[in-house]
Structure 1
Amino acid sequence: MTLSTCEICGQAAHGNHFGVLSCRACAAFFRRATLNPKKKLNLNCIHGQNLEIHRNGFFSCKKCRMKRCLERGMDASKFQLDRDMISTALVPNNSQTTPKMIPQTLATFIGRPNFLIFCNTLDSSPGPCKSIVDCNHLIDRATEILKNGSWKPFSPEMNSLEKLSVGFENMRILKSTELQYISHMGKDHTLLFWEQDMLNTAEWLTNFSEFNSLPITVQLEVVKSIWQTYGRFEKLAKTAEFRRKKLFQNENLFVVGDEACLDSENTEVDVSWFTNYTWEQVAFMDCFHNDIFRLIVKEFESLNPTTTELNFMLLQICLQQAGKKLKGDVTAVTDYLQEVISDQLHDYYLHNRNMPNYSARLTKMMKVNNLMRQDLRRQTEKTKLAITFDVFSVAFTHPEMMCGN
């Protein structure tokens, strides 16, 4: 391989610049002289025509150098056209006459800048095509539930926290069936449990009078932002309840759906439907061996909340998550709704429980909620990390539903 020479100065060339095979130094000179009107070069000739215009690539006269550039065909209109790529550039070796190839970087190889290498999207290339999970039907069903509102004949004297508590209990009773043990967790079960969580969240909120006064579009956005939080919280509370009732003798048993549970140590997990990695490689997303996750269940067992207390805790953390994620005017709405249920919890302790001093009880409830926030934050960070490194082989028609809070 022979090293091409610059047509301007005779030194090693690095590619086509402004339409001429040249080195970067001559290309930079031509660029400064023609493309920067604020820094025009002084192009007065400093010597006669018979003098050597350059020696070993060094020009003593800028005008002569510019003349050589123009004679060889450099054209400012060809800026950035036909220039050398990093992957094909040549550099001379100081100890050898044979030039060395500059090695390709990963960014050059796949044609994407470093900060986007691991951020593959559906319309980006290269990268494998992703399977699409269509959420439209599920969203339509949730919207219909919100539009129809609550069907329960509540007493006019009941406040929203009481209605939510009664509705929550009725949902549990109506959906109560024989407990099903799952030994294999795959696509079908996962999608079923997601559907249950989404629709249960919508149905639960129809019992919230102040929430029902919001536009349907806002209601739906809140549901989309909290359904994962609702499902996770409710399942942990139910797991604790089953342990208190001695229905779960094993600390590795967890509720994962409507009357469905699994043993975290004896369940086969199929991840092939959403990733090309193995379960061992994506096990960092496993929640059942999460220390905070397990601690929440124990705190629920110790607290043993009433249905009203449980609904207050669930509402508080869901509304905080919605306000944090949706921001803007929605935050003001969720702050107002939190004030409403706080006042109603106060009335509950005073009139229903005859407990004017309930600060100790409230402290224990907030301890559980703080642990829940830590758990949600940790899971969100893991999900975002997996998205950043393109772990998932599926994409969603409504990705805002799946990206955490």
Structure 2
Amino acid sequence: MWAEISRSSFWSGQLSGVRRVFQVGCTFIREFLQRFFRRTIVMSRTKKYKCRGGHSSCAVNTSERYQCRLCRYNKCVTMGMTAENVQWNRDPFPENRKRKEKGSEDEEDTERIPMKRPAISPPHFLLTKPKRIVDLTILSGKIQKILNDKKYYDNPKLKKMNNLERLDFALREWRAKQKKEEEMEMISNLTIHEMFKMCEDQMLIIAAWLAHCPYFQKLESSERYRMFKVVWNVWRRFERVEMSVQMFGRKTPGRVMKFAINEKFYVTPKLSIDISKITDWPLSATFLGGMFRDSVRKLFEQTGVQLAYLEPSSMEMAYMLSQLSWQLAGQALQGKVMEISELQQEELADNLHHHYLQIKRRSNYAGRLVKLMSIVNIVKRLQIERRITVELAHVFDFFNFELSDPDMFKE
């Protein structure tokens, strides 16, 4: 019964949240498309574009982005862009680039052979740097070694523990390293390398937490790694938000001004994130840095009061993290992962029932369970909104790098 309560309200209100994010994303898309549209009109390219698919219906997405300029131009038109509104006296194009365009019968064939292009200086708003590959092989190896290490499952301390107690044990081990507020240091500026390093450290912690779960051990090695990639980032954000509310937000839970980004440092809303190394777009600081702050801010605003009021125990937090992880993984991966997810959630509900009755001596806990799961559903909804925003960034080439394992940061 409690497994049903856990999943019942997830889709409630989800559509409105997705719609809000989509509207914001459209504003972001329009600004980037305007650059392409203006370049097309000023350089009279519309008649040169030909649909590569032959049906004028090519997808503009992460796998096909920018491959068909005609369909990309048509997308601009459908978004309301017109030639009459183009500013002609702004950012003039180099004359040698114009002459090249006039002498080319097929612009797309020319762009497919970059070595034959003359060495020219392009306009400032064109992306010019080739994408770099970020090799995650070493990190991936460390994570998979932990996920497949039997020592976490076979730990003698865990032999008499049930499923939920094991996860609580692993969570408390991690949180035992958390410094007290007066011992933590504030970070006001953060580079992308520092941010990635913090993520890497927390990935290893989350991998160890997952490895403690008996049902996780029933998955094939490849499925464990796939599940990890689905859940690690949302697990990390939710756990840190709850810890921040616990440490800093008892008096003003909905307006927490400090975020415990890891066990040693905290940040404030004034945090400056330098991401110039991973993007060429001038709006980088406002987009990705803002996305990071907004995702944390929304978690605080929409879950902070409830978390502060409920004051979840370590056992309840382990329950919420596990429900969150297995529900997301089951929905994303389907198949065997979905089957095991159902079994895991049912056993977790039984374990929590035992905890309330036998340990807490509390029989009337249904209302509290509903509130705990309402928080989980909020986190899931916000994760979907964030995923859409990140996807839009990839569609329009916001990032100037690619990962050797693209799913690692797929959200």
Structure 2 length normalisation: TM-score? 0.66
Matched, 1:292 2:298: yes
Could you give the per-residue CA deviations for residues 319-373 of structure 1, whole angstroms, max 9, x where no partner exists?
1111111122211111211111111111111111111111111111012112111
Provide structure 2 residue ranges, at least 5 long, that are not aligned to the other structure: 1-42, 68-110, 113-126
Q: Which residue number in structure 2 is paired with residue 355 of structure 1?
A: 362
Name the aligned partner's letter for residue 169 of structure 2.
V
Task: Select the structure that is richer in strand.
Answer: 1
Q: Which residue number in structure 2 is paired with residue 179 of structure 1?
A: 184
Q: Which residue number in structure 2 is paired with residue 154 of structure 1?
A: 157
After superposing the two structures, state which structure 1 stretch, 204-213 or 354-363, moved more: 204-213
Distance 1:111 1:399 in 2: 26
CA contact (8 A) 2:245 2:256 kept: no
Distance 2:201 2:289 in 1: 25
CA contact (8 A) 1:269 1:279 kept: no
Distance 2:398 2:381 in 1: 23
Query: CA, structure 1 residues 391+115, in 2 after alignment: closer, same or farther (shift >3 Å)?
Result: farther
Query: CA, structure 1 residues 275+107, in 2 after alignment: closer, same or farther (shift >3 Å)?
Result: farther
Please state how far the C-alpha of 1:260 moved relative to its aligned partner. Answer: 2.0
CA contact (8 A) 1:179 1:261 kept: yes
Matched, 1:204 2:204: no
Distance 2:288 2:339 in 1: 38
Name the aligned partner's letter for residue 238 of structure 1.
M
Distance 2:194 2:186 in 1: 12
Query: CA, structure 1 residues 174+185, in 2 after alignment: closer, same or farther (shift >3 Å)?
Result: same
Report the 3-state secondary structure (helix = DSSP H, G, I; strand = E; otherwise coil) of the residue aligned with 1:269. strand
Distance 2:64 2:397 in 1: 8
Query: CA, structure 1 residues 274+116, in 2 after alignment: closer, same or farther (shift >3 Å)?
Result: farther
Query: CA, structure 1 residues 211+120, in 2 after alignment: closer, same or farther (shift >3 Å)?
Result: closer
The aligned runs of 1:241-320 (5 Å cut-off) are 241-244=246-249, 251-265=256-270, 267-277=271-281, 278-282=283-287, 285-289=290-294, 292-295=298-301, 296-320=303-327
Query: CA, structure 1 residues 117+201, in 2 after alignment: closer, same or farther (shift >3 Å)?
Result: same
Query: CA, structure 1 residues 386+155, in 2 after alignment: closer, same or farther (shift >3 Å)?
Result: closer
Please state how far the C-alpha of 1:297 moved relative to its aligned partner. Answer: 2.5
Which structure would you say has the larger Rg? 1
Distance 1:349 1:115 in 2: 55
Distance 1:152 1:243 in 2: 34
Q: Which residue number in structure 2 is paired with residue 322 of structure 1?
A: 329
Name the aligned partner's letter for residue 303 of structure 1.
L
Q: Which residue number in structure 1 is paired with residue 46 of structure 2?
A: 105
Report the 3-state secondary structure (helix = DSSP H, G, I; strand = E; otherwise coil) of the residue aligned with 2:276. coil
Distance 2:253 2:186 in 1: 11
Name the aligned partner's letter for residue 167 of structure 1.
A
CA contact (8 A) 1:198 1:227 kept: yes
Q: Which residue number in structure 2 is paired with residue 140 of structure 1?
A: 141
Please state how far the C-alpha of 1:120 moved relative to its aligned partner. Answer: 7.2
Query: CA, structure 1 residues 365+281, in 2 after alignment: closer, same or farther (shift >3 Å)?
Result: same
Distance 2:65 2:294 in 1: 32
Please state how far the C-alpha of 1:317 moved relative to its aligned partner. Answer: 0.7
CA contact (8 A) 2:241 2:259 kept: yes
Please state how far the C-alpha of 1:122 moved relative to its aligned partner. Answer: 10
Structure 1 length normalisation: TM-score? 0.67
Aligned-residue identity in percent: 23
Q: Which residue number in structure 2 is paired with residue 346 of structure 1?
A: 353
Distance 2:66 2:46 in 1: 23
Could you give the per-residue CA deviations for residues 214-259 of structure 1, whole angstroms, max 9, x where no partner exists?
3222222211211111111111111111125789998321122233
Query: CA, structure 1 residues 174+257, in 2 after alignment: closer, same or farther (shift >3 Å)?
Result: closer
Distance 1:384 1:214 in 2: 28
Q: Which residue number in structure 1 is paired with residue 392 of structure 2?
A: 385
Please state how far the C-alpha of 1:316 moved relative to its aligned partner. Answer: 0.2
Query: CA, structure 1 residues 302+107, in 2 after alignment: closer, same or farther (shift >3 Å)?
Result: farther
Report the 3-state secondary structure (helix = DSSP H, G, I; strand = E; otherwise coil) of the residue aligned with 1:108. coil
Q: Which residue number in structure 1 is paired with residue 168 of structure 2?
A: 165
Matched positions, count = 302
Name the aligned partner's letter for residue 373 of structure 1.
K
Task: Select the structure that is richer in helix.
Answer: 2
Name the aligned partner's letter for residue 341 of structure 1.
L
Name the aligned partner's letter for residue 292 of structure 1.
K
Q: Which residue number in structure 2 is paired with residue 30 of structure 1?
A: none
Query: CA, structure 1 residues 122+190, in 2 after alignment: closer, same or farther (shift >3 Å)?
Result: farther
CA contact (8 A) 1:197 1:230 kept: no
CA contact (8 A) 2:257 2:268 kept: yes
Name the aligned partner's letter for residue 173 of structure 2.
N
